[in-house]
Amino acid sequence: MPQEIRFCTPDGEYWFLSPLAKFPIKMSVDGKDYVFPSVEHYYQAMKFFACDPRFNVILGLSNPDDARLLTKTAEYKINRRPDFDKNKFDIMENGLRAKFAQNPGAAELLKGTGNATLIKSCAICYKCGFGEGSGTNRIGKILMEIRKELQK
């Protein structure tokens, strides 16, 4: 088992760790249950209230990266949930926790990483604070915490 596992590329062995990996999660948003194709879909959709048409557009996209890129367009940068930026790290953590709680196969894969340090090493993640280097590896740290809980 490697001492360090870096993940980011869709064809990599550890892609399952990424929020963009397609493991569906069921989450309650604004009082209603929704099934999101990935944690990334959930994270991006949470920038909007469920009654906002953009929420459903994101929910309906098949590619998680398309959801991420769509929210960078001018139309998707305005009139967001006013508390999103304050809560974005909690939203990501809740999505990741749901992923491994609701997908036993993914949970087993995460446990199979042993005690390796998990590092989300993706250049596009620096700015959102999840990456390594100039980032904080927040996703890697959350995954290691979830793994520790699963291993008990």
The answer to whether 85 and 47 are in contact (CB under 8 A) is: no
Give the Cα separation of 19 and 21 in Å (integer): 6
Name the pTM for this structure.
0.92
52-110 confidence digits (pLDDT tens): 999 999 999 999 999 999 999 999 999 999 999 999 999 999 999 999 999 999 999 99
8-24 confidence digits (pLDDT tens): 888 889 999 999 999 99
Give me the domains of the chain, ranges plus CATH numbers.
4-151 (1.10.357.40)
Give CA separation, 60 vs 15, 41, 56, 83, 84, in Å.
22, 9, 6, 23, 21
Classified as helix, coil or strand, 124 is helix
Give the Cα separation of 150 and 22 in Å (integer): 20
| Residue 83 backbone dihedrals phi, psi, to 5 degrees | -100, 5
pLDDT number for residue 7: 85
Does the pLDDT of residue 130 top 60, yes or no?
no
The residue among 140, 64, 146 whose CA lies nearest residue 108 is: 146
Alpha-helical (H) ranges within 61-134 are 64-70, 84-102, 104-111
21-40 confidence digits (pLDDT tens): 999 999 999 999 999 999 99
Give the Cα separation of 10 and 37 in Å (integer): 15
Angle at 121 between CA 116 and CA 123, to 5 degrees: 175
